[in-house]
Amino acid sequence: MQTRKTTTAASTPQPYRLQHGDIQVTIDPVFGTLLSIRDARRNIELVGEQRLAENFRLLVPLPDWRGHYIIGCEQKLAECHVSEAEAELMWRDLHTKRGVFAIEFRLKVSIQDNAVLFHASLTNHSEFPVEEVWAPSLGGMANQAEADDWQLHYATSLGLAYPWTFYRQCRSVYLGPPNPTDTISYPGAAAMPWLDLSHTKARKGVYFCQEDPEPRFGSWVFQINPSANWGGSSYVWPDPSVENRPVGLTLAWTAFAHVAPGNEWASAPFAVRFHDGIWFEAARVYRQWYDRHFTIDRRNSWLDQEDAWQSTIISYPEDTIGYRFADLPKLAEAALSAGIRVLQIAGWDQGGIDRDYPHYVPDPRLGTVEELGAAIRACQAMGVRVLLFSNLHVVNIETEWFANELHRYTIRDSRGHEEYSIGWEYNTIAGLTGNTKPRMQFCNPSHPEFARIMQNAYERIIDLGSDGTQVDKVHCGMAGMDGHPDLQHLPPDLSVTAPVIEAFAKHRAMTDTRRKDYGIASETHWDRLFPYVEASFARHWHEDAIQSIAVTFPEFRQTCCVTGSSDFALVANCIRLGHIINIEANCLHGSIAEEPLMREFVSEALALRRGLWGVLWMSRIIDPVPHVEVEADPKVKFTLHESRTEPGTYALVLNHFSKEPLAARLRWKNPLPAMLHSILHPPIAVRQDEEIQIPSGDCAVVVVRNPTGTPKPS
């Protein structure tokens, strides 16, 4: 039976202990600091140094001190209501050395199953705004005994992960607060709002996530106390025996709440979920939450079924013209010769690529509107789809349109200044050094006039007969906050993100009424756009970056751009990682017809993947450790796919970038009949523990099929 306690700051009882199952939370009874967050079964303790324990922080800028923070662990509790698995903490009249501030802050802590959930709220009775809310602020994270085994994982803006040793390494510590601090914004630096802290040997972990259906701009904060040392290749934690001071890290989620005087604010749940396994399990947990709030439906998508593109820029901003509209069927014919059925065409619009935006009309130097439409129809008659390149929110600042109107819609910082400009010029050295490139500014589709301009542009692109568009430069939703004076009615943390989502939603709705088989790709990995965007225009020039987005969203397609005439290893890497093979021959100037060796190799690679479609394309990447042990040279990289359409079918794909062939030995946990496939060699049967060869510039695909059709746990 639950008991309920109500205390005031005048009493000093024992620490409050919440417990449900194996999860325990201990709270200081005077200041409300979070002294312990523990999973007893998995033996995970998040607060290793109680002297650095925290709860919340608030940024309350003053007229003469913008960096004025209220530190929660310095505030005595006013009230605390506690039951077995829940506590409601309340602080009033918060103080700093600058006085007392009439702010009431509340933090609800509850344990549910394997999770601790935090809900923050506040009422601002002071005369100053509350700009930032760090809640919860988990201080004192320290684990010297197993520091080498804990890694932190998050999805970067490119959908990849580069984990770091959480209790050893520090990032971006220079030029900031005296206690070195790093931030990861979402959206922006991160493609998804979750982090995972995993023990790589014991295979257990903790998932952290601000589980907010609203696309609010926020930031993770990592702060090391008391300092950081340079470790040769990165900053590292200080040695506590040398410093003779408590050492630990604060992990917090920062909401840019901007609570005006007299207003209230409440957060979405912040979840701390303990789990078995490593980051793959965190991806699964997040996807379960995501699917409760958003729907991704690819059942009628042609773009979902296309695993190769050919991308060509046909005209450039310095007036270099490579192709005209009448040449598009030749580009389609070249693509088809390698088995590629999609053209992405850039530079079709006025001024060439990255100039004169948003003049999305056919450039008359390349032909007429009718000629472009006829060329697209000719490509389609050959069985080749056409994506026309576009953007959502970049505009050229050198046009009369910008001088007369578009300057009114540019995104501004908090002081009302325009953000930095971007630009490219491709065919002159002065352009490559950045001196003569045409400049672009970012505009916000929250302005109704600019939203209409872009909607009209997308209607024109559809009316040209294209099969879809690739919306460039979206990245993670142009994250941040817009300080434009005309947008003061918008919450700052939604002022950029929400309009971007709305623009894509309108774009998709428009295609549903005008042309249902229309595809939308975009240069983005932001998870909130996946209901509207089917594929990402991405480079993926890496050897083995962790595929966070691909694991979490297997139906979201991503390209890898292949520019070299003998990029065979990169094409093989596309097979392993499930990427669209995007041929950008001659660095986007040409077609695959100019690279006969690459054309033949891509044709064979696509034949391999299409022959194993159910397990190499309609698949998900899963954690290989529960299924197979791979003994190989470290240069050999491998990925395990599980079919989404053929239960019990798996493919282990191995490749490398070495110039010499390499070998690997596989030991499946549940041995099954296996076939070895590759791009250039016929399939053969392989046995358990048999050494297999991975040729240079090729890949090895080992397919196992469960004869019962029952998938094994993954």
Tokens of 206: 């903790």
Structure tokens at 166: 């959480």
| List of residues 6+ apart from 120 with CB closer than 8 A | 56, 105, 106, 107, 108, 133, 135, 136, 255, 266, 267, 270
Does residue 5 have a pLDDT over 70? Answer: no
Q: Categorize the per-residue pLDDT at 4 as very low, low, confident or very high, splitting at 50, 70 and 90.
A: very low
* d(C-alpha 131, C-alpha 65), whole Å: 13
461 or 10: which leads in pLDDT = 461
Query: What is the mean pLDDT of the segment spanning 122-133?
Result: 98
What distances in angstroms separate CA 382 from CA 19, 309, 325, 336, 340, one per listed residue?
65, 15, 16, 8, 11
**C-beta neighbour count of 652 within 10 angstroms:** 24
* 707 or 229, higher pLDDT: 229
Angle (CA) 193-249-274 rounded to 5° is 50
Contact 179, 225 (CB under 8 A): yes
**What dotted CATH number matches 307-391+451-478+497-611?**
3.20.20.80
DSSP secondary structure letter of residue 239: P
pLDDT at 11 over 60: no
State the average pLDDT over residues 404-414. Answer: 95
- Residue 409: the pLDDT is 97
pLDDT band at residue 713 under the 50/70/90 scheme: very low
Q: What band does 2 get if pLDDT is binned at 50, 70 and 90?
A: very low
pLDDT at 714: 41
Mean pLDDT of 52-79: 97
d(CA 617, CA 255): 38
Tokens (6 digits) for 187: 């959206």
User: Is pLDDT of 79 > 90?
Assistant: yes
Paired strand residues for 219: 185, 254
Find the helix packing angle between 369-381 and 328-336, rounded to 10°: 20
CB 373 within 8 A of CB 386: no
- The answer to whether residues 8 and 89 touch, using CB atoms and an 8 Å cutoff, is no
- Give residue limits of the domains in the chain: 5-293, 307-391+451-478+497-611, 615-705
DSSP classification of residue 622: E
The letter for the amino acid at 460 is R
Question: What is the residue-wise DSSP string for 502-517?
Answer: HHHHHHHHHHHHH-TT
Q: What's the rounded Cα separation, in Å, for the pair 442 and 317?
A: 18
Query: Using 50, 70 and 90 to split pLDDT, how confident is the model at 707?
Result: low
* Residue 368 burial (C-beta neighbours within 10 Å; 0-12, 13-18, 19+): exposed
Query: Would you call the peptide bond into 226 cis, given omega within 30 degrees of 0 as the criterion?
Result: yes
- Contact yes or no for 50/36 (Cβ under 8 A): yes
Residue 403 tokens read as 């001088």
- Mean of the pLDDT values across residues 609-618? 98
pLDDT at 12: 61
Contact 686, 692 (CB under 8 A): yes
pLDDT at position 379: 98
**pLDDT tens for each residue of 476-527:** 767 789 999 999 999 999 999 999 999 999 999 999 888 989 999 999 999 9
Check: CB of residue 102 under 8 Å from CB of residue 125.
yes
E strand segments, 86-190:
86-91, 94-96, 99-101, 103-112, 115-124, 132-141, 150-153, 164-165, 169-170, 181-186
Q: Residue 692 above 70 pLDDT?
A: yes
For the chain, the residue count is 714
Of residues 513 and 253, more confidently modeled: 253
Question: Is the CATH number of domain 5-293 3.40.50?
Answer: no
| Alpha-carbon gap, residue 338 to 357, rounded angstroms | 33
Asked if residue 525 lies in contact with residue 157, where contact means CB atoms within 8 angstroms, the answer is yes
**Rounded distance, CA 167 to CA 153, Å?**
13
What pLDDT sits at residue 476? 72
Q: How far apart are the first and last CA of the chain?
A: 38
pLDDT band at 548 (very low <50, low <70, confident <90, very high): very high
Task: Kindly tell me if the per-residue pLDDT of 1 is higher than 50.
Answer: no
Q: Which overall architecture, per CATH, does domain 615-705 show?
A: Sandwich (2.60)
Predicted confidence (pLDDT) at residue 712 exceeds the cutoff of 80: no
Q: What is the mean pLDDT of residues 543-555?
A: 95
C-alpha–C-alpha distance, residues 480 and 412, integer Å = 10
**Which pLDDT value is given to residue 247?**
95
Question: How many angstroms separate the CA atoms of 232 and 234, rounded?
Answer: 6
Whether residue 241 is predicted with pLDDT greater than 90 in this model: the reply is: no
Smallest Cα–Cα separation from 135: which of 274, 270, 272? Answer: 270
State the pLDDT at residue 184: 96
Nearest to 87 by CA among 123, 55, 51: 55
Determine the pLDDT at residue 477: 66
Residues with Cβ < 8 Å from 320, sequence gap 6 or more? 352, 426, 427
- Looking up tokens 């990995």 gives 525
Asked if residue 683 lies in contact with residue 592, where contact means CB atoms within 8 angstroms, the answer is: no
Structural contact between residues 606 and 581, judged by C-beta atoms closer than 8 angstroms: yes
> Is the peptide bond preceding residue 634 cis, with omega within 30 degrees of 0?
no
SS (H, E, C) 77-115: CCEEEECCCEEEEEECCEEECCEEECEEEEEEEEEECCE
Residue 145: pLDDT band with limits 50, 70, 90: confident
Residue 15 structure tokens? 């620490």
Tell whether the model's pLDDT for residue 556 goes beyond 50: yes
Distance between CA atoms of residues 113 and 274, nearest Å: 9
What is the rounded CA–CA span in Å between residue 617 and residue 636? 21
The pLDDT value given to residue 174: 84
What are the pLDDT digits (tens) for 264-316? 999 999 999 999 999 999 999 999 999 999 999 999 999 999 999 999 999 99
More confident position, 10 or 327: 327
- Most distant CA atoms of the chain, gap in Å: 84
* Average of per-residue pLDDT values in the chain: 94
Burial of 337 (0-12, 13-18, 19+ CB in 10 A): middle
Residues whose CB falls within 8 Å of the CB of residue 504, separated by 6 or more in sequence, listed in order: 392, 471, 520, 522, 529, 532, 533
Angle at 256 between CA 253 and CA 261, to 5 degrees: 130
